[in-house]
Structure 1
Amino acid sequence: MSDASLPERRRPSGSSDLSGPFGSARSSGESARVEQARRLAARADGLPSLNRLAELAARLLHTSSAQVSVIADDQTVMGGAGDASSSVGQRSPSADSLCTVTTEAAVPVVIPDATADPRTRDLPSVRSGAVGAYLGVPLHSGDHVVGALCVFSPGERAWTAEEVGLLAELAGPTMTELELAALESTYEEDRVLWQLAVDAAGVGAFDWDLRTDVLRWDERLLELFGHTRESFGGTIEAFNACVHPEDRDRVGLALSSAIESCGGYAAEYRVVRPDGEVRWVSARGHAIAGPDGTAARVVGAAYDTTAVHDGEARVARTLDAMPTAFFHLDRDWRFSYANPEARRLLGAIGSEVVGHVIWELFPDAVGTEFESSYRGAMDSDEPAAFEAYYPPPLDAWYEVRCWPVPDGLSVYFIEVTQRHQARAVLERAARRSELLAEVTRALTATLDEEEAVARLTQILVPGLGDWCVVTLVEGSPPPDPRSERGWRRRLRDIGWWHRDPERRTMVERYAQLRVPALTDDSLVAEALVSQEPVVVPSGATERIVGILRPGEAGQICRDLAPSAVAVLPLQGRGRLSGLMTVFRDAERGSFSEEDLDLLADVAGRAGLALDNANLYAGQRKLAEGLQRSLLTAPPQPADLEVAVRYEPAAESAQVGGDWYDAFEQTDGTLTLVIGDVVGHDTVAAAEMGEVRGLLRGIAATTGDGPAALLERVDRAMETLAVDTIATSVVARLEPSDAGPGWRRLRWANAGHPPPLLLEPGDDGVRTARLLWSTPANRMLGLPTDDESRAESVVDVPPGAVLLLFTDGLVERRGEVLDVGLERLRDTVLATSPDASLEEVADQVLRRQLPGWTEDDVALVVVRLRG
């Protein structure tokens, strides 16, 4: 996408070259924009957060690549995913980039086919085939458009308004991350300036090797202590000899503490030079651990602070020149010095700080991190560092470093308000994106309305409110309280939640009573009429109770005591799916504009999800009715019990090719049929009805046995050109000479799973066996040949239970059929002998089927009365 390696794009003929000896001539506005873009592109060495945002954009919009570009004199790729990831940090001519089109347009650029768009068809990345479909949104920095966030893929693609909105939403955190990086770069420049100022003050370095006891000083430190390399002994004893006798114990304690903890060292002390002159020295260092984990060296730096103590001008000038604010507090917490930058930053209080006690000038610092850190540093004789906010009149965030000195506390600080604001914006954008993503995941994971709403309520609370109620609107157009007297009957509160578990029962009762208690002036009625959000920012309890009919609902509302409420329509595709009512208690406060924008986004997604669930439920109900209309109720002969079941596939539209049948013939025998047409969709259901009708009609008119019946169906399907394949078992229960109450079971199998027979034993032990047919018969609908179908016969005793079923009852993905059949045999044996036949059918389905069935299931269960 960056085309960093492509040749420079040629200037169109007839265009004028505005460049001169001082560069390109630009308007002042364009120059400001380019300068702003250069500032943002300074961190082109790589920002992982921009790469992650690009990856998020590509993943959410289902594209192969995404890119963040800054357009100044050329294009700089700041972040990328997919094909663009290899271009991060590269620069290329801006004229060759699609992102330049977006930057110049200053509005979202939607290109379904870049090869057909005159703005882009001649660009190298389009000619090469790398970019087919392109979507880009501008990145705004203040009043300037400095670049673009884009996604792209090879080939054509239509972009939806929702996708454009989603990418535009991601542009906010992307721009925030760019600004944050630029601010951090500026902050580092300040640190460099501080280091230069310190160097100008004459800071020297030292290195003490604890293993050899060799202490090395650089030339500046030797000069500071008044020694030459020859006169200084190079040991810690030589250093101690230079320290003023009154300060030696304190300095030694600071060094020992740093060595023991492998930590920092800080001390300010007096030194006595060989000529007798006494000077103040401030030293900072750190103990470095060796391979064994104990301190091996102490390294650091020191500089002359005599000017601070004696009022000499040299160090004072250095501190005055510092771009970082610095002040000094004495032991009584009075300002003894403040450099110009400190006086500027603290000047909002309207008073000179030097000579005044800090806690009196800045009373809001008492009890905060400012006081605890300052006092802690003074008491522990250890440096401290922190970031903290000071309220108006300063109204700013500060990064503070403080360290104790013998006569007080030295403090330097910089204002970091912009950095905190940028970080806060990024965190809010991240939280918003995370919440919306959570809503999308929760609502798209189910097509059940009540489950979707239950998930939604537990995201809204406590994320955006203290409690909530979600209402389903039935029918289209939505009810109009202005003209429809029975409008409440089309509303149903189906979801609610409260952050306090002890109050959820109250909210549930309120949801049960609320709709009948609504008046024509209620907030819900207002939202139905306007189909716009209705917000009560304060005093919500009295407002709601005042527009409810007198009764229990109003009393519960008083007990729940909402302070603010927002009612938002849940818009589907051209219809109102429902309403979302979010309540806030007084402790939480009202809704901000940002809160309402986020609630509107959530409502939009929830409306589409509820609309999908509603459409799915309608199709599912219609399809189930069609399916069950094809399956008739079984007969109930005097000496037999018959139960039937049909369970559709969970992933289908409630119709499929599985069927059952049971009917008595003219000779009094009971014919049982189980079958399965290949497939489980509406086509399979239609074909199933055709095959079932043929088999039922032929059986009723001929009285043939199972094998002959299947042969006639084969011929009829061939004659009538019924182009389908099905498996089936046809069985007849006929009179038997084996004994009173016995029946003879005669059956033929056309490629179907075998029936299962559960028989009572003389000793009370039941047995279950699968009735395999030998040889196996071909399926219905396959080409016929001279081979006739075979029948099998078995005598069945009273009390026996026969099961005919389709493969969905026993088959599992990745599992052989024999395992499922054995599992069914165990399930049937585990049923209670005393259970009714209906209970047996239910127990078999409950134990055999997982929560999510992949295929239809038909089941016929017959028991011989004993």
Structure 2
Amino acid sequence: MADQPVAGPFPTVPLTRRTPGDPAALAALVDRLPAAVLALDPAGRLTWLNAAAERLLGALSPLLLGQVLAEVPGTAGRALASAGAEAADTGEPVTVQAAGGWYEVRAARAEEGLALTVSDVSRRRTVQERADRSAARATLLVRVAAELSGALDGVSALGRLARLVVPVLTDGCVVTVVDRDGRARDVGSWHADPDRRDLLARYARVRLDTLPPSSPVGRALRTGEPVSSAVTDVLALMSDDGTREMLRALRAESVVVLPLPAESRTVGVLSLYLDAGRQVSAEDLATARAVAVQAGRAIDRVGRQSRQIQLAEALQRSLLTDPPDFPGVEVVVRYVPAAEAARVGGDWYDAFRHPDGDAVVVIGDVVGHDTAAAAAMGQLRGLVRGIAHSSRGGPAEVLRGLDEAMATMHAGTLATAAVARLERGGTRLRWANAGHPPPVLLWPGGRVEALAHEEADLLLGVDPEAERREDVVALAPGTTVLLHTDGLVERRGSTLDEGTERLHAALAELAGAPLPQLCDELLARLLEGTPQDDVAVVAFTVRPPV
């Protein structure tokens, strides 16, 4: 029969050139390959293997030929048989652990049986694992920084920290914080094994009450230095049988306790619990220390902010006093702080008697959300009273005088304000507005009306010579006037006009309700919980004559 060319993208080669040469020479050549090569019959029995395969299976060919690969003594035979079958079925290489290393198995199946090639990829896998661990540690530091950098509640953020470091750095983690009085408490825990998470959480709730000062946690808190210990040594220090049994049931082999350092003291510790066979590398330890430093700084920062916020809130609340009693007028005030404690700011209100005996109601908002805004709010509030008493003028005159005073005494401060004065026994309202949300009237019949000009007047602190307009509206007995700051109508994902419409609709529905109830219900409907910004409300109703 004549030679037939082989079709394909390569040059045609006669079939006779594909005929094998000397089998012994070919076997010797395959023996020199670093990869193991094995052939199995359809029953899984070894029919051929090279020298590398002999070394991998731990025996010479005469002892292996004819044996079922999966039944060869040791773990390598079973692992290679299973991986070979999977590789043949999927057409993809399969990586398997065998004989103390990692191997990549490729396979092809034919009528004669199964052929396997097995390559040692232990070094490549080690390099890849190191690269993966390095990337995981870098990602962990980024996630921790993101979690802690903007945290306003240090305890809650640290409680979530345990979930971040597991399993990158450890199998289990407990986070401990220390308050200003030196009291330690565990605020968070997590374990890589779901079956041990609840146990670790229960252990964290009781361990600090039973661990002696000589324990790793006690030593780390006292010295500010990392402490490593075998769990058996910790068990020997514990006197409470129940707590000791919980720690034993966690099946941890060792623990590493890292202090959380602040500027002047240790503010907590991270307890890393490691299972048998797991060790903390130098790189892992360096990353854990970096996490601990970030956590300590976050606690210290939040603590300082909390003390500043408490002072600002105390200042703000000390100035938001209850209104005086006015004949024929009921006045109700409300103040709701922001959800974010750091956003304490410049919302304020006031109600006082004009020298002529009329009731004056003021509401304002200093631009900014910090202690400076709160301090400026207090000063502007005092200025309004002083200007109203000294000038004896109306709302526009009060705003003009306040603008002039701010230009010389509080340069750089911006604020909005609305001033309303009840005249003629409450039958007439004189008002002026400097960039503030307009006052709202709720008429006795339930009609709602906003007191606004076509163009809003300039806010305070921009131009002390700006014109201040003043308007007058007659009030019917039973009319309610509402003044509020913008936090009442502003909401994320919604426009100011939509917020104003919600306010007007709610007021119309609440018409006829007692004024305190109206204010409380209005806040509940519009805020839907704690607002993102401070909210101040002052409302008054002209009582019908008796």
TM-score by length of structure 2 reads 0.78
How much does 1:789 deviate? 4.4
CA 654–340 in structure 1, closer or farther in 2 if over 3 Å, else same = same
Cα separation, 1, equivalents of 2:40 and 2:188: 61
Is contact 2:46-2:68 (8 Å) kept?
Answer: no
- 3-state SS of 1:577 partner: strand
Give 1:173's aligned residue.
none
Cα separation, 2, equivalents of 1:327 and 1:502: 41
How much does 1:653 deviate? 5.3
Deviation per CA, 1:99-149: give whole Å up to 9, x if none: xxxxxxxxxxxxxxxxxxxxxxxxxxxxxxxxxxxxxxxxxxxxxxxxxxx
Deviation per CA, 1:658-687: give whole Å up to 9, x if none: 421112346654221112345555555444
Give 1:792's aligned residue.
472
Give 2:267's aligned residue.
577
Give 1:194's aligned residue.
none
> 2:7 matched to 1:207?
yes
Cα separation, 2, equivalents of 1:784 and 1:428: 66
Give 2:330's aligned residue.
640
CA 447–693 in structure 1, closer or farther in 2 if over 3 Å, else same = same
- 3-state SS of 1:675 partner: strand
CA RMSD of aligned residues (A): 4.7
CA 825–315 in structure 1, closer or farther in 2 if over 3 Å, else same = same
Is contact 1:383-1:403 (8 Å) kept?
Answer: no
Alignment partner of 2:149 out of 427, 444, 450: 444
Is contact 1:327-1:342 (8 Å) kept?
Answer: yes
Is contact 1:643-1:838 (8 Å) kept?
Answer: no
Within a 5 Å distance, the mapping from 1:173-184 to structure 2 comes to none
CA 819–490 in structure 1, closer or farther in 2 if over 3 Å, else same = same
Give 1:671's aligned residue.
360
The residue type paired with residue 527 of structure 1 is: A
- Structure 2, unmatched stretches of 5+, are none
How much does 1:820 deviate? 3.7
Cα separation, 1, equivalents of 2:255 and 2:207: 15
Alignment partner of 1:604 out of 283, 287, 293: 293
Cα separation, 1, equivalents of 2:150 and 2:312: 22
Is contact 2:30-2:50 (8 Å) kept?
Answer: yes
Cα separation, 2, equivalents of 1:783 and 1:532: 60
The residue type paired with residue 276 of structure 2 is: G
Cα separation, 1, equivalents of 2:85 and 2:197: 48
> 2:483 matched to 1:804?
yes
Within a 5 Å distance, the mapping from 1:431-580 to structure 2 comes to 431-461=136-166, 468-475=173-180, 489-497=182-190, 513-539=206-232, 542-543=235-236, 545-546=238-239, 564-573=254-263, 575-580=265-270
- 3-state SS of 2:176 partner: strand
The residue type paired with residue 436 of structure 2 is: H
Give 2:384's aligned residue.
695
- 3-state SS of 1:494 partner: strand
CA 537–630 in structure 1, closer or farther in 2 if over 3 Å, else same = same
- Structure 1, unmatched stretches of 5+, are 1-202, 210-215, 225-301, 476-486, 737-741
How much does 1:399 deviate? 3.8
Moved more, 508-517 or 594-603: 508-517
Within a 5 Å distance, the mapping from 1:821-840 to structure 2 comes to 821-831=500-510, 834=513, 837=516, 840=519
Cα separation, 2, equivalents of 1:456 and 1:719: 49
Cα separation, 1, equivalents of 2:422 and 2:360: 7
CA 414–538 in structure 1, closer or farther in 2 if over 3 Å, else same = same
Give 2:349's aligned residue.
660
Give 1:756's aligned residue.
440
Deviation per CA, 1:789-825: give whole Å up to 9, x if none: 4331321423x43221233433568977544432321
Alignment partner of 1:426 out of 122, 125, 131: 131
Cα separation, 1, equivalents of 2:35 and 2:246: 59
- 3-state SS of 1:521 partner: coil
| Bigger relative contact order (CA 8 A; separation at least 6) | 2
Cα separation, 2, equivalents of 1:322 and 1:561: 44
Is contact 1:775-1:790 (8 Å) kept?
Answer: no
Is contact 2:332-2:515 (8 Å) kept?
Answer: no
> 2:12 matched to 1:304?
no
CA 355–534 in structure 1, closer or farther in 2 if over 3 Å, else same = closer
How much does 1:696 deviate? 0.6
How much does 1:516 deviate? 4.8
Cα separation, 1, equivalents of 2:210 and 2:402: 62
- 3-state SS of 1:368 partner: helix
TM-score by length of structure 1 reads 0.52
CA 554–671 in structure 1, closer or farther in 2 if over 3 Å, else same = farther
Cα separation, 1, equivalents of 2:220 and 2:528: 44
Within a 5 Å distance, the mapping from 1:90-129 to structure 2 comes to none
Cα separation, 1, equivalents of 2:323 and 2:201: 43
How much does 1:452 deviate? 1.0
Within a 5 Å distance, the mapping from 1:379-398 to structure 2 comes to 386-392=94-100, 395=101, 397-398=103-104
- 3-state SS of 1:752 partner: coil
Cα separation, 1, equivalents of 2:272 and 2:75: 38
The residue type paired with residue 797 of structure 1 is: P
- 3-state SS of 1:731 partner: strand
Is contact 2:488-2:526 (8 Å) kept?
Answer: no
Is contact 1:398-1:416 (8 Å) kept?
Answer: yes
CA 568–864 in structure 1, closer or farther in 2 if over 3 Å, else same = farther
The residue type paired with residue 664 of structure 1 is: R
How much does 1:756 deviate? 1.1
The residue type paired with residue 791 of structure 1 is: D
Cα separation, 2, equivalents of 1:604 and 1:332: 61
How much does 1:529 deviate? 1.7
Cα separation, 2, equivalents of 1:463 and 1:316: 47
Cα separation, 1, equivalents of 2:183 and 2:428: 57
